[in-house]
Amino acid sequence: MKSLIRLLTLSAFAAFMFTACEGPMGPAGKDGTNGTNGKDGLNGQDANSFCVKCHNTANWAAKTDQYHLSKHFYGTSSARNTKYCARCHTSDGFTEVVTQGKFVVSNDIPNGVRINCKTCHAHSAFDFAEDTMAQILTQTEPVALNYNNNTTTTDYGKINNLCATCHQIRGVTSVNWTDSLGAIKTFNQLPFFPFNKAGQDDKADVKYQVGQSFAVHDGNQTNLFTGTNAYEYAGQTYTRTWKHSANDCIDCHMNQYNATTKTGGHSLIVNKDACTACHGGDKITPVQALIDAKRIELAELLTTRKVFKKATSTAGVVSYTAVPSHDFYGTLFPTTETTTKFATALASNPTVSPTTGLVVPGNKVTMAVDKDFATRIGRPWKYGELGAAYNYAYITSELSLGVHNPVYALQLLQKSIDWLKSN
Ligand code: HEC
Ligand code: HEC
Ligand code: HEC
Ligand code: HEC
Ligand code: HEC
Ligand code: HEC
């Protein structure tokens, strides 16, 4: 890039010199070559028409208009510029983790900008013979998953690696908490994912304590798409692939732009008209209806066991939340009313430092009498219950309602239901 700018400055300067001291005309020069030399690496085209295929005003305007329809463009708010959010919710944070091979950025980025053209785009090289599209992307390397700072990388395919860097299970969200006496301590309970281990016992006890969370966050599309990182029961087999497994994210999310429905292309919204060519009709709604029904069936079973509790808002929206079996310090909650105080809550009250402008995490433990005794389970959970609760969250947060892998999604939910019914 620098050398290109330098080259342009130099030739402008040289042109100025030549016109300024014009002399008598010299002898005719040799004929140039036929120009093919300049086409190396540009798929046999000259640089001018090759570059202009992308770099033309109409194309740039079209891409920009489409991109303005995307949630990437309008979605991100400043609340997500903090240390544990910025890597996926700001352009600056993404660039920092990608260029420095990190999981979290070094600090909050108060002025971080939204995801924009430059988040995803940079020229790695101009020898386009290899893979034109990958050459204009910032990140096409295999991805190290964030949820447990896993240093093993997975190659999802060049362009999928770009999406997967952000569209994956979130991971850590805070490192400190303040105890009831005001002392700041290291927080090692978040996140709390029940991934499968060798020799796993679904019937083993596990405490689900106040302050723990198995929330995967809204971005685990890559995980479901590849059928990974859910809770799988011992001795069960799961199918990880489905009809569209060989497709890339962009095959559906950047398909043909439709100006009428404003979908496809850089809007990143699926142009569903492009699906009907093969499908003839709507394949998405039936899948989503089936998965949604299974998801609710599972949540109801968990509610009956007092792993979850159910609430209905005044607007009629039903929600399920996990009910901790133990308090923050690991003491079992009783199922009847007592006057004993428990560490019942961990309030997150971050503040902004007036001197640095950075967010100071503040997770404070509350000691109180337990009012939720009627919805407590009164025993540790079983791993199989934790796994079922986690699978519910995994499918719910994923947002596609199973469309990204109907086969695996259905197996996850059905096998969770079956385990609960027989244990
Ligand atoms: C496949 C499409 C594509 C082709 C072909 C292509 N570019 Fe690009 N180029 C891009 C994209 C996308 C960007 C990033 C846009 C941005 O920086 O906002 C970019 C950025 C640039 C930039 C940096 C602009 C800036 O403001 O930082 C330069 C310079 C550039 N291209 C020159 C070229 C040249 C010279 C060629 C031909 C040898 C070329 N490009 C071919 C897509 C392409
Ligand atoms: C820098 C991180 C990052 C990258 C890279 C990224 N995304 Fe996203 N994506 C997000 C975030 C964050 C949101 C949610 C935006 C919000 O609400 O602030 C999102 C939202 C979306 C949505 C929802 C769009 C809508 O309008 O409802 C789709 C679809 C999507 N991304 C697809 C993709 C695809 C496909 C790729 C790869 C070509 C990709 N994303 C690359 C972070 C990223
Ligand atoms: C590993 C990447 C990643 C990290 C880290 C991450 N997010 Fe997200 N987040 C996403 C993606 C991807 C979506 C997009 C889901 C969609 O809308 O399609 C999202 C969606 C959201 C949404 C809902 C979408 C909306 O626009 O309302 C909220 C709220 C949110 N994130 C907050 C946070 C906060 C707060 C943090 C830090 C504690 C955080 N996220 C950290 C990837 C991430
Ligand atoms: C979320 C990541 C992402 C963002 C943000 C993004 N692009 Fe792209 N862009 C891609 C991907 C992926 C491709 C490759 C598409 C393909 O292979 O069909 C692409 C391809 C392109 C191309 C070459 C293909 C063509 O049809 O000309 C241009 C030019 C381009 N983008 C411009 C832009 C501009 C301008 C912006 C900002 C308004 C932008 N992009 C924002 C991911 C992104
Ligand atoms: C077979 C086509 C297909 C493929 C491949 C695909 N998606 Fe999707 N995706 C969909 C459909 C359909 C939806 C449902 C939303 C809708 O109805 O538009 C969806 C939903 C989403 C959403 C949630 C949008 C929202 O409502 O906020 C995100 C984010 C997303 N996809 C990202 C990805 C990523 C990342 C990949 C690659 C790992 C991917 N998708 C692969 C078809 C696809
Ligand atoms: C090249 C042909 C083709 C295109 C284009 C195509 N699909 Fe498919 N899709 C199939 C085939 C074949 C199946 C498996 C047989 C079936 O269920 O009809 C399938 C199955 C599916 C399923 C699972 C259906 C079920 O009942 O389990 C979903 C979801 C899906 N496709 C979504 C999409 C979306 C979204 C698009 C558009 C972005 C799309 N497909 C475009 C060929 C295609």
pLDDT digits (tens, 9 = 90+) for 355-379: 887 777 778 889 999 999 999 999 9
pLDDT at 356: 82
Q: How does 10-40 read in b/e, with b if 16+ C-beta sit within 10 Å?
A: eeeeeeeeeeeeeeeeeeeeeeeeeeeeeee
Give the binding-site residues of ligand 2, using a 6 Å CB cut-off: 70-72, 75-76, 88-89, 94, 115, 119-120, 162-163, 165-167, 249-250, 253, 268-269
Quote the ligand 2 centre to 388 CA distance (angstroms). Answer: 27
Quote the ligand 2 centre to 76 CA distance (angstroms). Answer: 10
Burial class (CB in 10 A: 0-12, 13-18, 19+), 413: buried
Mean pLDDT calculated for residue range 223-235: 94
Check residues 320 and 83 and name the one with the higher pLDDT. 320
Give the binding-site residues of ligand 6, using a 6 Å CB cut-off: 243-244, 252, 255, 270, 274-275, 277-279, 283-284, 287, 403, 406
C-beta 167 within 6 A of ligand 3: yes
pLDDT at 295: 97
Quote the ligand 1 centre to 59 CA distance (angstroms). Answer: 12
Residue 246 predicted with pLDDT over 90: yes
Check residues 157 and 8 and name the one with the higher pLDDT. 157
**Spatial separation of the C-alpha atoms in residues 244 and 220, rounded to whole Å:** 17
Pairing outcome for strands 341-348 and 359-360? unpaired
Check residues 153 and 78 and name the one with the higher pLDDT. 153
Tokens encoding 84? 């544990």
Least confident of 161-165, 214-218, 288-292, 322-326: 214-218
Residue 281 predicted with pLDDT over 80: yes
**Spatial separation of the C-alpha atoms in residues 85 and 110, rounded to whole Å:** 12
| Number of helices and strands in the chain (H, E) | 14, 12
Q: How confident is the model at residue 19 (pLDDT cuts 50, 70, 90)?
A: very low
Residue 14 predicted with pLDDT over 60: no
pLDDT digits (tens, 9 = 90+) for 194-209: 665 667 899 999 999 9
Helix (H, G, I), strand (E, B) or coil at 403: coil
Mean pLDDT calculated for residue range 128-134: 78
**Ligand 1 nearest atom to the CA of residue 126, by list position:** 38
pLDDT digits (tens, 9 = 90+) for 23-73: 556 566 555 455 455 555 566 667 778 889 999 999 999 999 999 999 888
Question: Chain-wide mean pLDDT for the chain?
Answer: 86
Q: How confident is the model at residue 78 (pLDDT cuts 50, 70, 90)?
A: low
pLDDT at 41: 52
With a pLDDT cut of 70, the percent of the chain lying above it is: 85
Q: How confident is the model at residue 15 (pLDDT cuts 50, 70, 90)?
A: very low
Q: Say which residues have a Cβ less than 8 Å from residue 124's Cβ, sequence separation at least 6.
A: 134, 135, 136, 137
Mean pLDDT calculated for residue range 239-263: 97
The secondary structure of residue 316, as a DSSP letter, is -
Q: How confident is the model at residue 75 (pLDDT cuts 50, 70, 90)?
A: low
pLDDT at 164: 97
Mean pLDDT calculated for residue range 14-30: 48
Mean pLDDT calculated for residue range 328-334: 94
Mean pLDDT calculated for residue range 236-242: 96
Domain definitions of the chain by residue range:
46-169, 170-244+272-423
